[in-house]
Amino acid sequence: MRLGVLVPAGNPTIEPELYRMAPRALTIHFARLDTLAGEPGGADGMERRTLGYLDSMPAATRSLAAVKPDAVVLAHTAVSYLTTFAAEPALLDRLRALAGPHAFTAAGAIHAALRHLGARRLALATPYPETISTAARTYWQAAGFEVVAHRRLDTPNIYDETEETAYNLARAADAPEADTILISGTGLPTAGIVDRLENDLGKPVVTSQAATLWHALQLLRVTEPVNGYGRLLTSASHPR
């Protein structure tokens, strides 16, 4: 099976993370979304840059078509936040018109993963500027979840951060009343910390990358086990 991934041009994180976590039955193929609005990953101009990626979706999906992907993901969670939960169906329709019926968004994958885990009360960790972080919180509240805690990472560039930073951010975001930790952002490295966080905190941890992979495996009915990256992906070998 082949997964096509539409990724922001400057994102250096999601490719190695998906390759690292993916089972052998799934191959992953990337196309980059271009934008001219400022430094990739930089906090300055991130809102304008994020929305600008939508304009390059047609060219990027055309470049993926040659490998005939079985599914395609728009792997940029923040674009869903800025277009809002109410507009997610329209964004999905636009994506599927370009990439086919098995296209989905990273935010849509997170939503499905949270429902799969039975999450209701979220501790949200975001690496975005204030505007996008607020939009993220609003998005998940509109999706029907209670955001009981939220911690924002104040960083000049998300792409310069490390797994240890993501680990500390999630620990800081956690609250006793939260039943699930959500670490948002495909540009923040998280693959190596999910198991550790779940062991330390005693609750599920969902990340943009893990949810994207999990949803693709569910959609494509790939049942090869994925272990070592948290309970969500461990459950990928048992599709519903």
Please provide the DSSP assignment of 7-28 as one string. EETT--SHHHHHHHH--TT-EE
51 has pLDDT over 50: yes
* Residues with Cβ within 8 Å of residue 87, at least 6 apart in sequence: none
- In percent, the amount of the chain with pLDDT more than 90 equals 79
Which pLDDT score is estimated for 36? 64
pLDDT band for position 239 (cuts 50, 70, 90): very low
Coil/strand/helix, residue 134: helix
Would you say residue 154 has pLDDT above 90?
no
- Residue 44: band (very low, low, confident or very high) from pLDDT cuts 50, 70, 90: low
Higher pLDDT, 40 or 156: 156
Beta partners for 206? 182
Q: Residue 41: pLDDT above 70?
A: no
DSSP state of 93: H
CB 204 within 8 A of CB 230: yes
Mean pLDDT across 41-65: 76
3-state secondary structure of 90: helix
pLDDT of residue 45: 57
Mean pLDDT calculated for residue range 39-55:
64
pTM of the model: 0.93
Q: What is the pLDDT of residues 187-232, one digit of tens each?
A: 999 999 999 999 999 999 999 999 999 999 999 999 888 999 999 9
Question: Between vectors from CA 91 to CA 190 and to CA 149, what angle results, nearest 5°?
Answer: 40
Q: Is the dihedral of CA 185, 191, 197, 199 positive or negative?
A: positive
Q: What is the pLDDT of residue 159?
A: 85
Least confident of 1-10, 102-111, 134-143: 1-10
Q: What is the mean pLDDT of residues 91-115?
A: 96
Give pLDDT tens digits for 57-97.
Answer: 999 999 999 999 999 999 999 999 999 999 999 999 999 99
Give Rg (Cα) of the chain: 16
Model pLDDT, residue 180: 98
- The DSSP line for 26-55 is -EEEEEEEP--SSSTTBSTTHHHHHHHGGG
More confident residue, 9 or 108: 108
Instruction: List phi, psi (to 5°) of 6.
Output: -90, 120
β-bridge partners, 71: 3
DSSP category for residue 236: G
